[in-house]
Structure 1
Amino acid sequence: EEEHTSCEIPRDAIDVCGVQDPDDVSLDNVKEVLDSIKVLFEEDKTIKAYRLWKKLEGLVGQYEEAPQEQELSDKLMNAKELITESMFMLNQVTMEAESVFALLEELDSEEGWELAKDEAGIRTWFKQPEGSPTYHIKIQGTIKSPIFDVLALVNEVDLYQKWIPTCDLSKAVLNISKFKRMIQLCMTPPSPVNWVVSRRELMLYGYGVDMMEDNKMIAMAKSPSPGE
């Protein structure tokens, strides 16, 4: 059975390593770059971590395509070994970052969306993807409450059943980190729908993404994939 080990990296490790800027990435500091990616990911700065990883991946790819002297070849081999050791974490960074990019693209897109309702400052759209029996729903509005009140509401998973319609069970089944968790929800449709639609269970992987460099904060909740 494969054993996974982990170590704690100090919060200020990025400052110590000095690898916050993708322009600082080189074959001489691959270990420091990977440590910085890990710190950024653990602090929910997933997009920064992703951009740093893509810079490193691109750099290694460039050197692979060009002839190298022995010293450079040794550095490249060492870099690839270090990357392979961190691949599980790097795959997680990639999956979560690309999910965020896909969400933001969908929110900004108007293609295929039909406006269903525009009332009291809340706009609701829907669309049915081609070949799919399901509908996608997009809602846009302003929550006139302090951001920390909203975040507290989202964070208290056990209380979802008190304010989410039809939800009669809600609990965190796995706390992965401060802003990452797996949650279980159960929904019981109201009468008379419950005559034909039974109680439904939903498992969600939820995580937060700090994008304050772009003046954004993202809260994601999605069905977990096998890789996650």
Structure 2
Amino acid sequence: MINEDFSQRSKIKDVGRWYITRFVQEVASHLPIQSMILDAGAGEGVYKRMFSHCHYKAIDLAVGDSEWDYSHLDYVGMLHDMPIEDGIFDAVLCTQVLEHLEWPRESVQEMHRVLKPGGKLFMTVPMAQNEHQTPYDFFRYTSYGLTSICKGAGFQQVSIKPFGGMWVRWAYELPRGMAVFPPLRRNGKLNWSGVLWLPVKALALMFIRALQVSFLWLDRFDHEKNDPLGWSCEATK
């Protein structure tokens, strides 16, 4: 059973995931029927349903989140040493995974290896994000670092695009400030401190949502887009 459905998250409630999911939807819509696609670092395989017209395969080390269901993986293993034959996939999808890999360059080389000639790598990476799925969290990426990794792996055509700009990044970061409030439950029990702060917490959330809407609108005026929350990458073998 999949514990998370990213496609149901609205832009205002999960700014970062909204951009990633839209990118994956765009990828899926352009892949021909019967394409062979590998989801590298698939986790629970939350995007599998988008590729129902393709032959979808998933690989993961199955250590990222103890609450996830890894039972639907086709392969379990390291991405820098995948138990997969050379040149059998038309596309490789890799979303928000590269930051969790100790050997990112070698892993992207492996993605290049399992692609057919002319195959494409579709990848997303964060530039701004708190530490997560620790201790398996190692890197954040600039567009130049991502380009270097892809070209070093042998990809000839690399296109990097930002997920928003500075204002989108701030809209993404703002809700993290809610962590200052005590939780409603602690160790499975009702936390009365959290209950007492609930009215203030509700007002703070309303204020943050209003700021997020404003920031997302203001992002149209950021023409450089060199301080985004992350990047999408399309690379061709």
TM-score for both structures, normalised by structure 1: 0.22
**Higher Cα Rg, which structure:** 1
Higher helix share: 1
Q: Which has the higher contact order (CA 8 A, sep 6+)?
A: 2
